[in-house]
Structure 1
Amino acid sequence: MTLTTEQSAWFATSFGQLVANIERAVLGKTEVVQLVLTCLLSEGHMLLEDFPGTGKTSLARALAQSLQGKQSRIQFTPDLLPSDVTGVTIFDQRTERFEFHQGPIFANVVLADEINRASPKTQSALLEVMEESQVTVDGVSHQVGRPFMVIATQNPIEQAGTYRLPEAQLDRFLMKSSLGYPDHDDSVRILSAPPARRGGIELDPIITTDAVASMVEMATQVHVDTAVLEYVARLVEATREANETVLGCSIRAGLALTRAARTWALAAGRSYVVPDDVKRLAQPVLAHRMVLDPEEEFRGTTAAGVLDRLLSTVPAPQERASA
């Protein structure tokens, strides 16, 4: 099914309205907000790694408040149990039946705060739900609903009492990004704003979960030319062949990049993907999936640097792909 001009325009307008609403709470971070929304509308999950006080939690709350859906926040700690996340089956003596009590993972937007502070066992409880949007407890599967997105945060400097996310867990995140500190002008704007009440600014929801589901479905209909697909495949393959890596990106990464590029293109009002969409999203989608050779890391090599080199050497299609 081909998208109409009116559908593309509606998607782009709705996307822009969501960005503007979220930016009321998170100033000067348009690109990161766009990435988070692209993640949501691509049915993916976002990992935000940044220093304390940069607005990671505020961004997640602002996104959740912008949707007429359910939001939840899980503070990950070393003593957090898997059942504290997914829920638990309890025997009800009145009915003499086992009943499932949902955990906080049953929400449209879930903020997993400081995810690397939980034990590997608890982290692994997220693997199924992030991949399949369902939770299996005592052999019974429970759907978490749609839309569903996990926004996880972690602090890159406080490593005491943390558990590094394994590669299998990192691969479940569609994107990884950071907010960074605001520039001088945005800092002044933030400081000059009226004091907000504890918990930050409250936003009014501007879109329903049904409308979000429609946007998700529309994004899947964006055309991707064969030449662009071949470009994505060459990029993914190049990460495996690079001398600096011991583990490159899997085909799941290629699928994720293609899915995100479709959403990014439609947010720009286009019903087709161009190579620049792939280039723009390569860093947040691919970098965290690459494992560098320890000696290269010791020399200061970064996954972002390797990707920059690959993007400059892997030839992109010259002709603009169109539907």
Structure 2
Amino acid sequence: MMSSSPVPRSSVSASAASERALMSRLVEHLERVIRGKREALELVVCAVAAGGHVLLEDVPGTGKTTLAKVLASGIGGAFKRVQFTPDLLPTDIIGSSIFLPQEALFRFRPGPLFANVLIADEINRASPRTQSALLEALSEGQVTVDGQTHVLAPPFLCLATQNPVEFHGTYPLPEASLDRFAVQLSLGYLPEDEERALLMTRSGPPPLEDLRPVCSLEEVVRLQERVQEVRLEESVADYLLRLVQATRGHPSLRLGVSTRGALLFGRMVRARALMQGRDYVLPEDLKALAVPVLAHRLVLDTRARYAGSDKRVLLGELVGTVPVPR
């Protein structure tokens, strides 16, 4: 039976230190191209370690596609990009069965979904039917075509983007789709000094061809397995549940965090613990990740929405009201 008291901070295994070093290498690799955004990059690497997916809500030209390319180069994985448009079909993403006359049979031809890092660019521009083609892959790491199940080679990470400014001709992601993303974040514009340095040193696209992998796909898979072994003490698990349950009973919220969201929250905080060099979760991990991991799962009620309430601000205030275990 697990103890209800947090594990001493000095208890750090050699394995946790090794995983921390791997995650640090990945963050530093991303920083070679994406500058001045370390906090966001650490969230992306935590999502990789947790086996989760990332929703990037940002204006055009802030480096979202570049981030996905650099991440793929860092893990030595296959990268694919799909530009979502209103006429995009599900088979354009997942693939389809092609009839081969010579062999008199149908053979599955994989679509761009079969990659280690997929960027679904402007995902909210495709129809709900096409958006839903991603759901099975995001949740279960597989797709089903003509009754046949095709498993995606691990690791599989989807970075989906949407423009928070332009809504004409878009189909907002439904709650069921949003709930499948481990984290939602924004890169935003560069700090002034970083943007100035970039203007002075770079006149063309980033030199991605010079980047080399800092780890292998097998190491990423082992990292994801290691995340599952990070300890979540009983008192910390209770704290996580209290945070989740607080969203379900809040008067300004029509929909709180689901059980799927709670499980993803648990995986993300375990990943953050490893990034900090620990093999156990502390309450500070939950407080640090509550907003980026949980806010996009909430649905404001009509009154709060028309009053201009912000889900991220509301969640931050809510976290401050939940007692932290001692």
Using structure 1 for the length normalisation, give the TM-score: 0.95
State the match for 1:75 in structure 2. Answer: 83
Unmatched segments (≥5 aa) in structure 1: 319-323
The equivalent of 1:321 in structure 2 is none
Determine the structure 2 residue equivalent to 1:5.
Answer: 13
Q: Distance in 2 between matches of 1:292 and 1:51?
A: 23
- 1:112-170 Cα offsets, whole Å, 9 max, x none, are 00000000000000011110000100000000111001000000111111100000000
Structure 1 distance, partners of 2:300, 2:56, is 20
2:174 to 166, 172, 192: 166
Match for residue 262 of structure 1? 270
Query: Cα offset for 1:184?
Result: 1.1
CA distance in 1, matches of 2:278, 2:197: 33
Q: Which amino acid aligns with 1:314?
A: V
Q: Partner amino acid for 1:232? A: L
> What is residue 285 of structure 1 aligned with on the other side?
293
Q: Which has the higher contact order (CA 8 A, sep 6+)?
A: 2
Distance 1:126 1:25 in 2: 28
Q: Deviations over 1:74-112 (max 9, x none)?
A: 010000000000000011001111100000000011000
Contact 1:118 1:162 in 2 (8 A): yes
1:1-323 aligned within 5 A = 5-197=13-205, 201-202=208-209, 203-318=211-326
Which deviates further from its counterpart, 260-269 or 60-69? 60-69
TM-score (norm 2): 0.94
For 1:86, give the aligned amino acid: I
Cα shift at 1:188: 1.3
- Rounded to whole Å, the distance in 2 between the matches of 1:176 and 1:245 is 19
1: CA distance, partners of 2:196 / 2:301: 42
What is the Cα deviation at residue 295 of structure 1?
1.6
CA distance in 2, matches of 1:4, 1:246: 41
Instruction: State the 1:5 CA deviation.
Output: 2.2
Q: Is the Cα–Cα contact under 8 Å of residues 108 and 145 in structure 1 kept in the other structure?
A: yes
Partner of 2:3: none
Structure 2: state its 5+ residue gaps: 1-10
The CA RMSD measured in Å over matched residues stands at 1.2
Letter matched to residue 193 of structure 1: T
Count of aligned positions: 315
Give the C-alpha shift of residue 200 in structure 1. 5.2
CA distance in 2, matches of 1:129, 1:255: 17
Deviation, 1:4, is 7.2
- Cα distance in 2 for residues equivalent to 1:176 and 1:89: 34
- 1:227-255 CA distances to partner (integer Å, 9 max, x unpaired)? 01101101111001111101111111111
**Percent of aligned positions with the same letter in both sequences?**
46
Verify the 8 A CA contact 1:58 1:200 in the aligned structure 2. Answer: no
- Deviation string, structure 1 residues 187-210 (Cα, Å, up to 9, x no partner): 11211223234x653321111100
Write the distance in 2 (CA, Å) between the matches of 1:80 and 1:153: 16
Quick one: distance in 1 between partners of 2:292 and 2:317? 15
Deviations 1:276-312 (A, max 9, x none): 0001110111000000012212212111111111111
Does the 8 A contact of 2:12 with 2:277 survive in 1? no
Cα distance in structure 2, aligned partners of 1:4 and 1:136: 42
Matches of 2:200 and 2:32 in 1, distance apart?
A: 14
CA shift at 1:49, angstroms?
Answer: 0.1
Q: Letter of the 1:204 partner, please give it.
A: R
Please report how far the alpha carbon of residue 273 of structure 1 lies from its aligned counterpart in structure 2 after TM superposition: 0.3
Classify 1:172/1:179 alpha carbon distance in 2 versus 1 (closer, same or farther; 3 Å): same
Q: Secondary structure at the match of 1:14?
A: helix
8 Å contact kept, 1:147–1:212: yes
1:223/1:271 contact within 8 Å kept:
yes
C-alpha distance in 1 between matches for 2:63 and 2:199: 14
Alignment-mate amino acid for residue 223 of structure 1: R
- Of stretches 121-130 and 187-196 in structure 1, the one that deviates more from structure 2 is 187-196
